[in-house]
């Protein structure tokens, strides 16, 4: 289990919590390689540089992402890398949506180091870990389920474009950030509208925010 090849990434914008997670991981995987990312941009750059990551511990709310946008992007772009959500927002609906979007587990930040260690070990063994008191039995909202199913059809690049639309960026700004032509962004926006079944950029942003519990919009652009 603690083979030198084990490689984890802790993605959280709070240095103190990253340090706590690092200590928790080191307690059960003493020889693991642990990288840290303080923003979603840092995380994507790191993953572009190395493909040997065994697990990503991801905060739901950090610079560059909000709601489930980061999780959706990672599952689309790196489907072979398990992602565990570590978040302060730990109500049953958030936990269930995290699993619906492909998370391999959900660890509330309120839990202590021992629970973190137990959860990490179980996920590394291939299990899905959620708090024992989580109620996942409530009936799903059909409208939300349909919207979720549409969101997961977006390509990784389309997810990033939708994230930037949610930040209020214009097509030319998104094109600059992603290093592509404005025509390419227009094509992505058209595809996003079609896949989400909406008619405008505003409706697309509202749809994304709905499934994120109103938390999709990012208050401070990271560009």
Question: What does each of the 223 residues of the chain score in pLDDT, given as a tens digit?
Answer: 444 568 999 999 999 889 888 888 888 788 889 999 999 889 999 999 987 899 999 998 888 776 788 898 898 889 889 999 998 888 888 888 888 888 999 998 888 778 888 888 888 888 888 888 787 776 566 777 788 888 888 998 998 899 888 888 999 999 998 999 999 999 999 999 999 999 999 999 888 777 665 444 443 333 3
Domain count across the chain: 2
pLDDT at residue 176, as a whole number: 93
CA distance 172 to 86: 34
Query: How many residues would you count in the chain?
Result: 223
Contact present, 40 and 66 (Cβ < 8 Å) = no
Residue 17 and residue 121 in one domain: yes
Residue 33 and residue 100 in one domain: yes
> What CATH number has the domain bearing residue 206?
1.10.10.10
> What CATH number has the domain bearing residue 37?
3.40.50.2300
Residue 194 and residue 101 in one domain: no
Instruction: Give the residue from 97, 125, 153 where a domain finishes.
Output: 125
Residue 98 maps to a domain: yes
pLDDT at residue 67, as a whole number: 74
Region of residue 126 (left: phi > 0; alpha: psi -120 to 50; beta: else): left
Residue 52 and residue 153 in one domain: no
- Helices and strands (H and E) in the chain: how many: 10, 5
pTM of the model: 0.79
Residue 97 and residue 179 in one domain: no
pLDDT at residue 106, as a whole number: 92
pLDDT by residue (tens digit) across 63-76? 877 678 889 889 88
Residue 96 and residue 156 in one domain: no
pLDDT at residue 216, as a whole number: 46
Residue 153 and residue 119 in one domain: no
Instruction: Give the residue from 96, 125, 154 where a domain finishes.
Output: 125
CA distance 157 to 178: 9
Q: Which domain holds residue 120?
A: 6-125
Residue 23 and residue 111 in one domain: yes
Helix (H, G, I), strand (E, B) or coil at 187: helix
Calculate helix-pair angle for 156-166, 69-77, nearest 10 degrees. Answer: 160
* Residue (of 67, 19, 66, 75) closest to 47 by Cα position: 75
Residue 165 maps to a domain: yes
């Amino acid at each position: 289990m603690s083979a030198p090849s084990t490689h984890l990434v802790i993605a959280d914008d709070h240095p103190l919590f990253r340090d706590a997670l690092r200590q928790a991981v080191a307690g059960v995987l003493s020889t693991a390689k642990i990288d840290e990312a303080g923003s979603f941009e840092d995380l994507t750059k790191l993953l572009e540089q190395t493909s040997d990551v065994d697990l990503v511990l991801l905060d739901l709310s950090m610079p560059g992402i909000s709601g489930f946008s980061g999780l959706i992007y990672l599952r689309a772009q790196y489907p072979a890398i398990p992602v565990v959500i570590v978040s302060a927002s730990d109500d049953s609906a958030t936990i269930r949506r995290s699993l619906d979007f492909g998370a391999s587990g959900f660890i509330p930040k309120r839990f202590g180091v021992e629970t973190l260690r137990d959860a990490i070990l179980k996920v590394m063994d291939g299990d899905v870990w959620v708090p024992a008191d989580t109620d996942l039995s409530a009936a799903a909202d059909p409208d939300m389920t349909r919207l979720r199913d549409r969101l997961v059809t977006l390509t990784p690049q389309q997810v990033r474009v939708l994230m930037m639309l949610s930040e209020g960026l214009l097509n030319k700004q998104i094109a600059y950030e992603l290093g592509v032509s404005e025509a390419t962004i227009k094509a992505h926006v058209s595809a996003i509208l079609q896949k989400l079944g909406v008619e405008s950029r505003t409706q697309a942003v509202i749809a994304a925010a709905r499934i994120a519990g109103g938390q999709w919009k990012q208050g401070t652009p990271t560009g």
